[in-house]
């Protein structure tokens, strides 16, 4: 069935679904949710409002936003057995693996888990967006052998997450920076994790399975895992004077520099541009600009070497440093990406199931021609 003409490695360039959610122009560096440029959302919106926008495909009225915010807050507490399960699992397991296991386990406590009608899925979207943040904070606390902190229903989503993770109510500035990070990463059209979630959802399996699949895809270093590797690299460089030789050596060995390059963007990722400004502000506030200086040198060396090939910083290049200045350890960076991106996963699932068609592509067969089975003692 498949022909040479339709074969594309990694499905590059293949349009696998129609979507009204996210527009990307990878040549011009444009990203917009429902037509609204990401720069405007980062400046004026909140995570709650952006989540509503993606799930409902329109901006909310004030009462709608208030209700959505209250719904999100009301779902934050986890079922007690899930907390017990988290405590029973190895605390030093990769946080993404813990997240994948516990999101999957949450399904066992939902009597309507298999109901994939759109109304129920809207409720599950709010619940899962809310509880993924609670799970991530709990995983972060247990890793450091700290008590889990119950959510504070009076705080917005971002501030509450930072509170549950650190035990301190964050400053307005810290909560806002984190909120912007969540807005920027909420959706990105059709990356591997979103596609994985839709492949599962298109079988009409339950949403916990679909989100577990998405988490599994996001865990990989070529997708969500890059930001953790970026901040580790920047910390390893440690000194602005070492940045240029470090990167040049890695490029000479033809190694990939994490946080650069993108399947879609062949220019500067607009999210990286926004985060770069925040990182600079955070560094000045912290009175420690060392990491920012290193990043600027790394950025220049990579763009000088690979910019002509369309390799520029992607969102992961700066998201790790934002979190570093907020006191979040590198191991939690991919789960934090998930806290935001679950919005996009759920929005795409809701959109796709409105007019579902099972994903079932095909392969171009390159194996042996038809032949007879050879009994084992004749081989």
What pairs with residue 312 in β-bridges? Answer: none
Q: Are 265 and 314 in contact (CB under 8 A)?
A: yes
**Could you give the string, one character per residue 303-322, with x where binding to ligand COA holds by CB under 6 A and - elsewhere?**
---x--x-x--xxx------
> At its nearest, how many Å lie between ligand COA and the CB of residue 378?
44
CA dihedral 17, 130, 341, 100 (to 10 degrees): -90
Could you give the string, one character per residue 212-231, with x where binding to ligand COA holds by CB under 6 A and - elsewhere? ----------x---x-----
Contact assessment for residue 344 and residue 186, using Cβ atoms and an 8 Å cutoff: yes
Bridge partner list, 23 = 32
Residue 263 found at the interface with ligand COA (CB under 6 A)? yes
- Told to check if 187 binds ligand COA by CB under 6 A, we report no
* Nearest distance from C-beta of residue 72 to ligand COA, angstroms: 26
Scan residues 73-132 and list those touching ligand COA (CB under 6 A): none
Supply φ then ψ for residue 31, to 5 degrees.
-135, 130
Catalytic residue among 316, 348, 355, 372: 316
Instruction: Output 260 or 324, the one with its CB closest to ligand COA.
Output: 260
Rounded Cα distance between 49 and 75, Å, is 17
Q: Which of 157, 262, 269, 348 is catalytic?
A: 262
User: Is residue 51 a contact partner of residue 343, using CB atoms and an 8 Å limit?
Assistant: yes
User: Min. distance of Cβ 1 from ligand COA in angstroms?
Assistant: 26
Smallest gap from Cβ 313 to ligand COA, in A, equals: 9
User: Taking the CB of residue 59, how many other CB atoms lie within 10 A of it?
Assistant: 15
Q: What is residue 154's three-state secondary structure?
A: coil
Whose CA is closest to 130, among 38, 48, 65? 48
129 and 343 Cβ atoms separated by less than 8 Å: yes
107 vs 220, beta carbon nearer ligand COA: 220
Residue number, nearest CB to ligand COA: 261
Residue 239 CA to chain centroid, in angstroms?
Answer: 29
Closer residue to ligand COA, CB minimum distance, 261 or 270: 261
Residue 341 interacts with ligand COA (CB under 6 A): yes or no? no
The total number of residues shown for the chain amounts to: 379
Local structure of 31: helix, strand or coil: strand
One character per residue 136-175, x = contact with ligand COA (rule: CB under 6 A)? ----------------------------------------
Q: Cα angle vertex 262, ends 260, 264, to 5°?
A: 155
CA distances from 284 to 86, 130, 159, 295 (A): 37, 32, 22, 14
Q: Please, what is the minimum distance in Å from the beta carbon of residue 23 to ligand COA? A: 17
259 binds ligand COA (CB under 6 A): yes
Does position 299 bind ligand COA by CB under 6 A? no
Our finding on whether 256 is near ligand COA (CB under 6 A) is yes
Please say if 75 is a catalytic residue: no
Nearer to ligand COA, 160 or 314 (CB): 314
Closer CB to ligand COA, 56 or 256, in the complex: 256
* Shortest reach from residue 252's CB to ligand COA, in Å: 11
223 in active site? yes
Helix (H, G, I), strand (E, B) or coil at 14: coil
According to the binding rule CB under 6 A, does residue 260 interact with ligand COA? yes
- For residue 235 the two structure tokens come to 């910390």
- Residues contributing to the site for ligand COA (CB under 6 A): 222, 226, 256-263, 306, 309, 311, 314-316
The residues annotated with a catalytic role in the active site are 223, 262, 316
């Amino acid at each position: 069935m498949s022909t040479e003409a339709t074969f594309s490695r990694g499905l590059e360039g293949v349009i696998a679904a129609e979507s009204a959610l996210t527009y990307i122009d990878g040549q011009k560096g444009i990203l917009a949710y429902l037509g609204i440029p990401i720069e405007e959302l980062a400046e004026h919106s909140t995570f709650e409002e952006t989540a509503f926008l993606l799930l409902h495909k329109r901006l909310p009225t004030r009462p709608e936003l208030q209700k959505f915010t209250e719904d999100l807050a009301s779902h934050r507490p986890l079922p007690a057995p899930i907390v017990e399960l988290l405590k029973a699992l190895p605390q030093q397991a990769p946080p993404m693996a813990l997240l994948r296991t516990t999101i999957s386990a949450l399904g066992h406590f939902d009597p309507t888990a298999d109901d994939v009608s759109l109304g129920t899925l809207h409720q599950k979207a709010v619940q899962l967006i809310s509880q993924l943040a609670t799970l991530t904070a709990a995983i972060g606390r247990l890793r450091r052998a700290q008590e889990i902190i119950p959510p504070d229903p009076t705080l917005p989503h971002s501030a509450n997450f930072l509170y549950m993770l650190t035990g301190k109510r964050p400053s307005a500035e810290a909560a806002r920076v984190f909120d912007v990070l969540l807005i920027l990463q909420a959706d990105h059209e059709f990356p591997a994790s979103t596609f994985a979630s839709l492949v599962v959802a298109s079988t009409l399996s339950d949403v916990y399975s679909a989100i577990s699949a998405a988490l599994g895809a996001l865990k990989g270093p070529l997708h969500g895992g890059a930001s953790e590797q970026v901040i580790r690299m920047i910390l390893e460089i440690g000194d602005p004077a070492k940045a240029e030789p470090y990167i040049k050596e890695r490029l000479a060995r033809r190694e990939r520099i994490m946080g650069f390059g993108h399947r879609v963007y062949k220019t500067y990722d607009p999210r990286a541009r926004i985060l770069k400004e925040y990182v600079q502000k955070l560094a000045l506030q912290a009175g420690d600009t060392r990491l920012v200086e290193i990043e600027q040198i790394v950025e220049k060396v990579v763009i000088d070497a690979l910019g002509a090939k369309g390799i520029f910083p992607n969102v992961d290049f700066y998201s790790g440093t934002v979190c570093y200045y907020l006191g979040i350890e590198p191991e939690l960076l991919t789960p934090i990406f998930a806290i935001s991106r679950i919005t996009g996963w759920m929005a795409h699932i809701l959109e796709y199931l409105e007019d579902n068609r099972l994903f079932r592509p095909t392969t171009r067969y390159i194996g042996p021609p038809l032949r007879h089975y050879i009994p084992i003692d004749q081989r």
